Each structure stands twice: as structure tokens, then as C-alpha cells.
Amino acid sequence: MKKRNAKLIFMTMFLIIMSSVSVFAAEVDTAVVNADKFGILTLLPPVVAIILAFATKNVILSLVLGVMSGGFLLNLNGVNILSALFNSFLDLVNRAVNSLADPWNAGIILQVLAIGGVINLVAKMGGAKAIAEALAKKAKNARSAQLITWAAGLLVFFDDYANSLIIGPMMRPVTDKMKISRERLAFVIDATAAPVAGLAIISTWIGLEVGLIGDGFNSIGVNTNAFSVFLNTIPYRFYNILILGFIVLTSVLLKEFGPMREAELRARRGNVNLTSSKEIDEKISNEHSDLEPLPGVKLNIWNAIIPIGILIVGSLFAFYYSGYTTILGGDDATLIELLKNSPLSFVSIREAFSNADASVALFQSALFAGIVAIVMGTSKKIFNISQGLEIWVDGMKTLVITCVILICAWSLSSVIKELGTARYLIQLLSGSIPAFLLPSIIFVLGGIMSFATGTSYGTMGILMPLTIPLAHSINPEMSYIIVCISAVLTGSIFGDHCSPISDTTILSSMGAGCNHIDHVRTQMPYSLFVASIAILFGYIPAGFGLNIYLILPVAFLVMFIGIQILGKSVDIDENEECLTA
């Protein structure tokens, strides 16, 4: 009887294992079969998305039609085109619903919305404006005014829009007084908006970035912690890091080159703005009103420090607790023993963070920070509970567009995976692209796409599902894949930074009270200069596997030398002395 039971159990287990293997094989074979079946047509969804993004400048429409083009191919049986079109629409809906049904994706969406609510509460309570004004009082000359504007941009790290619209109007009277051109102010604002928000571990960007990274690894069957990967990409965000350093170097040295030097010399002689700013000021007042404190609010920096501080510290606690409970609920005896015996050791904290569910942890901390902000506002009689909840929801509304882009990007990733697009690209390119060049190619492609479309979000959504599988096929080492991921994230920001149709570029012009074309014209040489260094002394060496602690110092040294060679002083007294001599 026992032998019979043993045989029965064995056969049952065998069938379960074989069925699991067959299901897995079916999933893998779908991509393989479709890659062979459709060939070059597997590129249709990303190509449609890219071309339409260039043509329409509308990333949501481009992503939607990209998904539908993939669904059209998958549903095209025979010559029934109308049926395939109808089914492609149904396929789009199903993919969007399935994206939201995933607990990880749902957590990402919720934390993006919750952080938006916190930002709006902080703005309406006057916290952000109070910090900007406190910093503005410390500006004594051209150097300190620019460095303080830079520092203020770092402090408003949680959102690029908030950065552009808060820092510009606050610092403009100060920089005007110090005879700094509006073009230079617009550049400093722009270079501390998206680059800082893209680097911050707590921001309105992190949901998009972590979500796309997680989905990319899922597409190749690699189980990894997406937030941990995100953290590891930070040292390789060469453009973001270098552009921030560029501001400091040129501000301290008071050296500029190209059209920016002309603007600065003009400003030092008393004309900070070439273009009449009456029309611009009207636009600023309309846009900036959304982030202005409520009428009668007494400005207090603690109205920003406490909610944002709780958001950051709460996130750290939430990450630890999430990872801690995950490990204790798992079957790794060594890790369980480690956490029980030394819960606060460096190794324990690192392992807890690596095993945390970032989407849930960030949502928990953002929700708690929102509650604290509402309690603060009501206790100080800035608003009542009902008004506080309304402000919180209004802040969420501003980020609905981000959530829609995320859902569309996840859907595009899904159809790309099913069609076998990445597999086809791997077969086509894995033997033809030198491994060391791939990060640089991705960076340049991301820059071109985001420059033409004016959106870094959409560029990330299109490139990330293709980059991770391709990088993995060329070199499966995680360090190499991380460099390629960072190239997507920074290339998107570089192109967006240069683009005249980018929303952050436009908002930076408005915030500084600067003519938009003047801002683009003076900023672009600086962006191209920094991007060139990021490629030649960042991504190419990183592609060869050089140590990041060697790459970054060398890149900064080259940038310093380049500024010394190309740049000339904008100190008016020094220039006048040179002219006299």
C-alpha cells in the first residue's frame, strides 16, 4: 500500500513538474516562433512608436498605436484585416488591464500618485517657497547667487516641474540684482530639474524608472530587485552627474563660452534680458499659481522639511521592514539567522533593502507623509481636513499623465515580448555591435529620440524593453546591463534637456523670465559639451568594464580642462582691465 502511495505521489509530482516545464517552454517558444515567423516585422511596434513620436510629438498616441500594431500582427489570420484591427484594439485593452492587475505595477502607480499629493501639499503650505526665499537671502555676489540657485535645485529634488516653477521666480530678482543673465538662470534651473529628479531615490520619476527596469528583467526571465538595480545605475548616470558638476565649475570660475558668454557679458553691463518679459511674466503667473502657497499662509521651511523628511526617512524604514518580512517569510536559513541575530548590521540592512518591494514601500511612506502634511496643515489652520484632502487629490491629478504613459509602456513591453522583437534584435545585432559601444549607442539614440519628441518618459518607455534583453544577450553580467540601463535613463534626459519642445525646457524659460529660443540657443552648446564627455570618458570606458571610481574623476578632470580651454572670464572688471591693457 505504501509503495502504491509512493508511486502515486511520484507520478503526481512528475506530471506537475512536466506541466510546469511545458508551460514555461510554451512561453519561451511563443517568442521564438513569432521571431522566426514575423522576422523584421517584429520591429513594427517600437518603430511605429518612435516614428509617430517624432511626427506627432504625442507620446501616448505613439505608444498606443505601437501596441496596436503589434496586436494587429498577432491577430492577422489570413486576409481579414478588419477583424485583426478590431482584435488589436481588444488586445490593447487586455494588456492595459493586465498591466494594472499586476501587484508590482499597481504599487508603482499608487506611489507616483501619492508622491504627487505630498508635493502639492508642501507647495500649498508654503514650505517650498520658504526654502527658496531663505536661500535667496544668502546670495551676495554672482558666484554665490548661482551656487545657491544650484543648491535650491538640489533641494527641490522630488519633481522637475516643481523645480522649474519654484526656483526660477524665487531666484530671478536675486540673479537680476547680481547681474546674471536670464539665459544663465534658465540653464541652471533646467540643469537641476530633470537631471536631479532622475537621480533622486524619492521623486515623481522613480516609479517610472523602477517600473520599466522591473518589466525589462521580467521579459528575459531574470528575477532581480528592480529598485536595487536602479540604485546601482546612479554612479553611471554620467550626463546627470557631469551637468551638475559643470554648473558648479563654471559658477566658481566665472567662465563661459559660446552664446552664453555673450549673454553674461551683456548682463554684467546691466542688461540681464534682451527680450521684453511682459508676456513671459503673464505666462509665469498663470503656471506658477498652481504651486503658490494658499492665500495668507505664513511661510515656514518646516512645512517642507517635515513632510519631505518623513517621506525619505519613512521610505528607508519601509524598505527595511518590507525586506525583513520577506526574508523571514522565505526559506533562506542563513539570511533568516543573520536578521534575527544582527538585524541592524550593514549586511542585514543591505539584504533587507535588496529583498524589499520598492513599489509598496514607497507607497506606504508617501501615504504616511501625505497624512502628516494634512495633519500639519490642519493643526496650523492653513486648511481643514476636507480642503487638505482636496489639495492632496489635486496633486495626484498632475501625475495622471505619468501613470498613463507607464501603462502604455508596460503594454508595449508586453506585445514586444510576445512578438519576439528583442529575440530578433539579439539575433540581428548581438554579433555586429562591439560590447563596449552599446551603452554609447543607446545614450545617443535616447538623446535623439527625446530631443525630437520632447519627452524623456516616452523615450524610456520605448527603449528600455529593447535595451535590457539586447544587453543581456551581448554580456549577461549585471554590471554591464546596469551601464546600458543608465544609458537609457541619461540619454533620455540629455535629449529632453536640449529639446526646444520639452516641457521642462519651456518651464525653465518661463521660470527664469527668459526668451525661450535664447534659452535653447545658449544651453545647447553646454549640453553637447557635457554629453560628449559623458560618452568619451564615461560610457565607452564603462563599456570596457573600467572601475567607476576611476571613470568619474577622470571625466570631471577632462571637463575642468575643457572649461579652462574653451571658457573665458565673464568678470566685467577683469574683462575691462584686459581691454585697457
pLDDT digits (tens, 9 = 90+) for 199-244: 887 666 777 788 889 888 988 888 888 888 998 999 999 999 999 9
pLDDT digits (tens, 9 = 90+) for 133-152: 776 677 788 888 899 889 88
Q: What angle do CA 463, 540, 195 make, to 5 degrees?
A: 55
Residue 420: domain span: 105-580
How far apart are alpha carbons 265 and 414 in whole angstroms?
Answer: 53
- Please compute the mean of the pLDDT values over residues 406-433 and round it to a whole number: 75
Cell match 501616448: residue? 60
For residue 276, being part of any structural domain is answered with: yes
For residue 65, is it within any domain?
no
Distance CA 476, CA 485 (A): 13
Counting the structural domains of the chain, the total is 1
User: Has residue 84 been placed in a domain?
Assistant: no
Dihedral over alpha carbons 85, 87, 90, 95 (to 10 degrees): -100
pLDDT at 485: 95
Q: What residue type is assigned to position 344 of the chain?
A: L
pLDDT band at 161 (very low <50, low <70, confident <90, very high): low
Q: How many CB atoms neighbour CB 280 within 10 A?
A: 20
Render pLDDT for 27-43 as a digit per residue (tens, 0 to 9): 445 767 777 788 888 88
Question: 568 phi and psi, to 5 degrees?
Answer: -130, 155
Q: How many helices (H) and strands (E) does the chain have?
A: 30, 2
Cα(427)–Cα(233) distance, integer angstroms = 26
- In a domain, residue 43? The reply is no
Tens digit of each residue's pLDDT (9 = 90 or more) over 312-329: 788 778 878 888 888 888
- Which residues, 6 or more positions from 140, have their beta carbon under 8 angstroms from its beta carbon? none
Neighbours of 238 (CB within 10 A): 29
**In this structure, are residues 408 and 67 in contact, taking their beta carbons and an 8 Å threshold?**
yes
Is the per-residue pLDDT at 409 higher than 60? yes
Q: Which three cell numbers stand for residue 175?
A: 540673479
Residue 56 lies in a domain: no
Nearest to 92 by CA among 390, 409, 395: 409
Q: Out of 183-187, 346-350, 357-361, give the one with best mean pLDDT.
A: 183-187
* Section 172-198 average pLDDT: 87
Q: Over the chain, what is the mean pLDDT?
A: 80
Give a yes or no: residue 68 inside a domain.
Answer: no
Residue 411 counted as domain residue: yes
pLDDT, one tens digit per residue, over 551-576 is 999 999 999 999 999 999 887 654 54
SS3 at position 288: helix
Is residue 125 included in any domain, yes or no?
yes
Q: How far is CA 242 from CA 247, 257, 485, 520, 528, in A?
A: 9, 17, 18, 19, 12
* Of the candidates 560, 567, 509, the residue with the CA atom closest to the CA atom of residue 249: 560
C-alpha cell at 507: 518651464
Grid cell 498632475 — which residue? 398
Is 0.75 surpassed by the pTM of this model? no
Q: Round to whole Å and give the CA distance between 445 and 442.
A: 5
Cell of 267: 548682463
Per this entry, what is the length of the chain? 581
Burial of 57 (0-12, 13-18, 19+ CB in 10 A): middle
Which residue would you say has higher pLDDT here, 296 or 19? 296
